[in-house]
Amino acid sequence: MEGKTLRPVVTVRLYTDRKCFGPGIAALLRRVERHRSLRAAAMDMGMAYSKAWSILREAEQGLGFKLLHTTTGGKNGGGAALTAEGARMLEAYERFEAELKAEAETLFTEHFSEFIKDIQE
């Protein structure tokens, strides 16, 4: 058998009455922060603008607060920026996700030592 390494992949999503936050919206918001535009953020991810809008709308409706505020007009047809609550939400999600993934690595080594060894042999 070729050397294959077994590894965990952990996905964290947040729900209220619906899915409202996860890796997709987090990546999108991080890019909005950089590009100051939802359209540019979507493009940077290879995501359709309409998809970005629908993810954002679902997230905001699920959370019950705005993640972005948009400014209309200007030479780029308006920009986008994270609301204060949106920025704190993104920070909280990223810290939560990073700490949980670190914990997953520890727990994985504990529970799967037999299989990590078997598969690599």
Asked whether position 84 contacts a second copy by CB under 8 A, the answer is no
- CB-CB contact of 93 with 14 (8 Å): yes
Closer to a second copy at the Cβ: 49 or 96?
Answer: 96
- Of 70 and 113, which CB lies nearer to a second copy in the complex structure? 113
Distance CA 120, CA 98 (A): 26
Phi-psi region of 73 (alpha: psi -120 to 50; beta: other; left: phi over 0): left
Does position 99 bind a second copy by CB under 8 A?
Answer: yes
Q: Find the part of the chain contacting a second copy (CB under 8 A) among 34-42, 43-51, 56-64, 69-77.
A: 56-64
Q: In this chain, which of 16, 33, 79, 82 binds a second copy, going by CB under 8 A?
A: 16
Total residues at interface with a second copy (CB under 8 A): 40
Which segment (29-37, 52-60, 63-71, 74-82) binds a second copy by CB under 8 A? 63-71
Q: Is residue 73 at the binding interface for a second copy, with CB under 8 A as the rule? A: no
Asked if 8 is part of the footprint of a second copy (rule: CB under 8 A), the reply reads yes
Distances (CA, A) of 83 to 21, 100, 101, 104, 112: 15, 26, 27, 31, 42
Would you say how long the chain is, in residues? 121
Tell me the one-letter amino acid at 60: E
Distance, in Å, from the CA atom of 1 to the CA atom of 115, rounded to the nearest integer, reads 14
